């Protein structure tokens, strides 16, 4: 059984799941030592975060290009850390572009590698399947169709269920009554994506407020994003509440609808049961590349799991204030539609898999 486990994650949604996994690992084996790379959730779970995930927080083509030297340097630093203080097992969380080269390094050092929150190779044309085949001992999948996908390509994969089913206190949230007067806004976890999306979210909100001045707007602050940064992108004359990271689930449940950046947040809103309008923007070079790499018809995990566009998606030039306002106004003026969407979202909890996935993932890692 491992005595020391290294967890490697590099963005906010991964950190949330990594923190929950670390907590479950400690619950199953209190004598463990857990260290690694991550953020506040991993640290709060009791892990020794030796490398902050903020070192590789990039969005957009030019950001990544300019950040490559720092990425390579960080990978070398992590590998050196393993040499000096060898872990018994390594758990990679999402982010394959950063983690897969490290998985290869770990294998060369004869350290078992587990992948938690499998890379979404089924959605994007990505390199790395051969590394997954050769150097990853177990892929712990969050989505029901993933194990078969990876197994057919020669990988060792098992299904645990999506960790959000355990992370989100769904039973407690179900007792809260949504407010017809509150709109939630989740503009992302990276400053670049927030700067792309929040001004359009704010302009759409302003138009709603002019016609419905009783509406309240609540903006979720991601870890590592300051209140001051959000306020700079929000009109001074438009009332707004900033919601702290630990309170966002309650905000989602109490909102009649959500405007959200594409990402894990849209699965959070779906599981909680709140209708969501999804938007995303990148710089033009990154968007050009991604459009040619995409396999999936949808970008929202909710729509991918349901195989239909339950959540409207607005991408790039379509992610503008006018489109977002029109969709928001349509929903607000048709409360029956919002009620119907809430009913349809109940199905998603069954599709997303069973609860207890975190315990199953921890048990798999500890069994090696």
DSSP 20: H
Residue identified by tokens 């083509």 is 61
Identify whether the C-beta of residue 182 lies closer than 8 Å to the C-beta of residue 216. yes
Which percentage of the chain shows pLDDT scores above 70?
92
Cβ within 8 Å of residue 190, ≥6 positions away:
11, 57, 58, 59, 222
Which percentage of the chain shows pLDDT scores above 90?
67
pLDDT tens digits along 323-367 = 999 999 999 999 899 999 999 998 888 888 778 889 989 999 998
pLDDT band at 288 (very low <50, low <70, confident <90, very high): very low
**What integer best gives the mean pLDDT of the chain?**
89
Identify whether the C-beta of residue 339 lies closer than 8 Å to the C-beta of residue 275. no
Q: What is the average pLDDT across 218-225?
A: 93
Strand partners, 6: 35, 90
Burial class (CB in 10 A: 0-12, 13-18, 19+), 75: middle
Q: What is the average pLDDT across 190-202?
A: 93
- The whole-angstrom separation of Cα 215 and Cα 241 is 12
Quick one: pLDDT at residue 279?
Answer: 95
DSSP 248: H
Strand partners, 52: 38
- The whole-angstrom separation of Cα 81 and Cα 23 is 23
Quick one: pLDDT at residue 263?
Answer: 86
Give this prediction's pTM: 0.88
pLDDT tens digits along 9-52 = 988 788 989 999 999 999 999 999 999 999 999 999 999 999 99
Length of the chain (residues):
368
Q: Which CA distances in Å does 26 have to 5, 19, 30, 294, 306?
A: 11, 11, 5, 38, 34
Q: What 3 state SS string does 83-110 have?
A: HHCCCCEEEEECCHHHHHHHHHHHHHCC
Q: Which CA distances in Å does 134 have to 137, 139, 272?
A: 8, 12, 38
> What's the N-to-C CA distance of the chain in angstroms?
6
pLDDT tens digits along 105-146 = 999 999 999 999 888 877 666 678 899 999 999 999 988 889
Bridge-based pairing state of the strands 138-141 and 48-52: unpaired
pLDDT band at 68 (very low <50, low <70, confident <90, very high): confident
- The whole-angstrom separation of Cα 229 and Cα 199 is 12
In the Cβ-directed half-sphere of 354, how many Cα atoms lie within 13 Å?
7
- The whole-angstrom separation of Cα 368 and Cα 366 is 6
Nearest to 173 by CA among 67, 264, 243, 247: 247
Higher pLDDT, 268 or 284: 268
Identify whether the C-beta of residue 167 lies closer than 8 Å to the C-beta of residue 356. no
Assigned token pair, 215: 């509406």
Identify whether the C-beta of residue 273 lies closer than 8 Å to the C-beta of residue 171. no
- The whole-angstrom separation of Cα 54 and Cα 31 is 28
DSSP string for residues in 62-86: HHHHHHHHHHHHHHHHHHHHHHHS-
C-alpha angle with apex 89: 83 to 93, nearest 5 degrees? 105
Q: What 3 state SS string does 116-133 have?
A: ECCCCCCCECCCCHHHHH
Identify whether the C-beta of residue 76 lies closer than 8 Å to the C-beta of residue 92. no
Nearest to 123 by CA among 284, 300, 314: 300
- The whole-angstrom separation of Cα 252 and Cα 230 is 18
Quick one: pLDDT at residue 312?
Answer: 96
């Amino acid at each position: 059984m491992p005595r020391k486990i290294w967890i490697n994650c590099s963005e906010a949604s991964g950190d949330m799941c990594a923190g929950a996994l670390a907590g479950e690992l400690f619950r199953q084996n209190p004598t463990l030592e857990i260290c690694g790379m991550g953020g506040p959730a991993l640290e709060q779970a009791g892990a020794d975060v030796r490398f902050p995930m903020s070192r590789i927080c990039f969005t957009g083509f030019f950001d990544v290009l300019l950040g490559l030297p720092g990425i390579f340097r960080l990978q070398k630093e992590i590998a050196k850390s393993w040499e000096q203080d060898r872990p018994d097992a390594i758990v990679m969380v999402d982010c394959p572009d950063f983690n897969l080269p490290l998985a290869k390094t770990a294998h060369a050092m004869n350290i078992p590698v587990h992948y938690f929150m499998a890379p979404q190779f089924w959605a994007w044309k990505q390199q790395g399947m051969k590394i997954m085949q050769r150097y990853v001992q177990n892929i712990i999948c969050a989505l029901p169709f993933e194990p078969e996908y990876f197994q057919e390509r020669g990988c060792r994969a098992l299904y645990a269920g999506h960790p959000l089913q355990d992370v989100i206190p769904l039973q407690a949230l179900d007792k809260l009554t949504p407010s017809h007067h509150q709109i939630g806004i989740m503009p992302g976890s990276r400053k670049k994506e927030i700067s792309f999306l929040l001004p359009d979210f704010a302009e759409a909100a302003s138009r709603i407020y002019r016609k419905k001045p009783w509406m309240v707007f609540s903006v979720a602050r991601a870890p590592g994003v300051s209140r001051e940064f959000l306020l700079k992108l929000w009109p001074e004359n438009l009332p707004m509440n900033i919601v702290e990271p630990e309170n966002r689930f309650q905000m989602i449940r109490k909102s009649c609808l959500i405007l959200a950046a594409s990402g894990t947040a849209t699965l959070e809103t779906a599981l909680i049961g709140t209708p969501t309008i999804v938007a995303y923007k990148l710089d033009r070079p990154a968007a050009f590349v991604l459009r040619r790499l995409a396999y999936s018809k949808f970008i929202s995990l909710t729509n991918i799991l349901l195989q239909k566009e339950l959540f409207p998606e607005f991408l790039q030039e379509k992610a503008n204030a006018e489109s977002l306002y029109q969709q928001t106004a349509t929903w607000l003026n048709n409360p029956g539609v919002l009620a119907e969407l809430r009913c349809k979202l109940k199905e998603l909890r069954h599709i997303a898999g069973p609860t207890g996935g975190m315990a199953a993932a921890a048990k798999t890692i500890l069994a090696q």
